[in-house]
Amino acid sequence: MPKFNLRNLKVGVVGLGYVGLPLAVEFGKRFSTVGFDIKEARIEELRAGRDSTLETDASELAAASKLSFTTRLADLKSCRVYVVTVPTPIDDYKRPDLTPLEKSSESVGQVLKKGDVVIYESTVYPGCTEEVCVPILERVSGLRFNRDFYAGYSPERINPGDKQHRLPTIRKVTSGSTPEVAEFVDSLYRSIVTAGTHKASSIKVAEAAKVIENTQRDVNIALINELALIFNRMGIDTEEVLLAAGSKWNFLPFRPGLVGGHCIGVDPYYLTHKAQAIGYHPEMILAGRRINDNMGTYVAQQLAALMIRRRIQVSDARVLMMGLTFKENCPDVRNTKVVDVVRELEKFGCKVDVHDPWADAAETYHEYGIRLLKKLKPGTYDAIVMGVGHDEFRRMGVARIRELGRKTHVLYDIKYVFKAGEVDGRL
C-alpha cells in the first residue's frame, strides 16, 4: 500500500446525486476534488451554484473552493482516490439492478492507475464490491487487485431533506481491502466527518451493516402497518394505541405509512437476493416487504369504502392527492409509493389530480406520466388524500384543505398531518 499524504490527495467523486454531491462538497473544502456525473444538465446547474436536490445551497457549494465539476472522464485521471456513489435500484421483478454500479466501475477502470484506491458508497449486498465491482476494475484497467490497486467500502448515510443530520454529523462506517487500506480509508473520512468513524473488520461487514440498517426499519414499519390493518378492523385508532404504548421508555416510535424511496423500500431486496443465492429463504424480511408493498392498495380501498358510505360515486370521482414525493420536505420522487395509491384509484375509475410544491414537474412526468397540478381550486373534489406531510400542507390547516372538497367529500390522512377527529379516515 503506497503511503498517501492527505495534504496532497486528489479525490474523484463519481455520481453527484443526493449522496455524491454532499460528499464532494465536504471533500472539496479540504482536498482537490473532481465531481463527475454523466448528466450534462446536472453539471451545468452545479457550476452555476444550484442544486436541484436541495441537499446543498449556493453558500455550501461556494465554500468547497477546491471542488470542480465535469462530465469528462479524462478529468478524473489525476485522482488517486475514487468514491463511487451511484444508485443501486431494483428492477420490475424486485431483483438488484447493478447496471449503474457496473458502468461506473467500467468508467473508473479506464482511469485507474497503480496505487489508486476505489471506495464504494452505494448500498449493496455483502460481497458485491469484491465479487462484482473489483473484477470489472481488474478487467478494464489490466491491474491486479490488492497488488496494483485497492478497494474500500464506506456506506452512505445521507437522509434526504434532513437539515439537522448532515454528512459531517453522522458517524461513518469505513472499511478497506487490506488493514493498511482500511486505516487509510478511515483517516480519509475522519478528516471530514466530525461525528467520527467506525472501522469495520472487512468490506463485507461494512456492506452488511448498511443493508441491515434499512431492513430493520422496513420490518419494524411493516409490523406497525400490520397492526394498523388489525386495529382498523376493530375500530380502534392506531395512533392512540401507539401513543399509549409509547408511554413506556423502550417502545420504538414507528408509525404506519407508505414505505418508498431509494433506501427502505429497496435495500431489503439486496439482502434477500444474496440470501437466496446462498440457499437460504428469508421469511420475516420478505413478509415485511409484502405488507409494505401492498399498503398503497389498502389505502385506496379504504378511501373507496369511505366514499361509498358517504354515498359518493367512486367511478368518475374527482380525487386530490396532496403530495407525491417519497417523504416530506424533499423533492425526491424515486420509488414513491404514493403513486401506488394514485394508480389503484385510477383503476376504480377515479380522476386523480396530484399537487406537490416540492416535486419537479418534468421529472414527475418523465418517471410516472403524472402532470402536477399547480393551482388548487376550492369546491372541486369528492375526496382529498394527504399523501405527504409537507410543512406547506400543515400550515394550510385542515379547514383550508377541506375547502378544496365539495359539500360532501372525504378527507383521508395517510401521514397523520391532522388529528383523528379532523379527518374522515387514516391509517
Q: Rounded to an integer, what distance in angstroms lies between the CA atom of residue 243 and that of residue 247?
A: 7
Q: Rounded to an integer, what distance in angstroms lies between the CA atom of residue 24 and that of residue 232?
A: 47
Q: Which DSSP letter does residue 421 get? A: G
Q: Rounded to an integer, what distance in angstroms lies between the CA atom of residue 79 and that of residue 47?
A: 20
The set of catalytic residues is: 263
Give the DSSP letter string of 334-361. TT-THHHHHHHHHHTT-EEEEE-SSS-H
Helix (H) or strand (E) holding 10: strand 10-14
CA angle 150, 151, 156 (to 5 degrees): 155
- Which sign does the torsion angle of CA 389, 390, 395, 400 carry? negative
Cell 457549494 sits at which residue? 61
Q: Which three cell numbers stand for residue 183?
A: 486505516
What 3-state class would DSSP assign to 92?
Answer: coil
Q: Rounded to an integer, what distance in angstroms lies between the CA atom of residue 366 and that of residue 41?
A: 15
- Which sign does the torsion angle of CA 255, 259, 265, 269 carry? positive
324 phi, psi to nearest 5 deg? -135, -25
The answer to whether the CB of 24 falls within 8 A of the CB of 33 is yes
The answer to whether the CB of 225 falls within 8 A of the CB of 257 is yes
The residue type found at 338 is V
Rg of the chain on CA atoms, in Å: 23
Q: Which three cell numbers stand for residue 124?
A: 449493496
The answer to whether the CB of 57 falls within 8 A of the CB of 17 is no
Helix (H) or strand (E) holding 284: helix 284-293
Tell me how far CA of residue 249 lies from CA of 119, 216, 220, in angstroms: 39, 20, 17
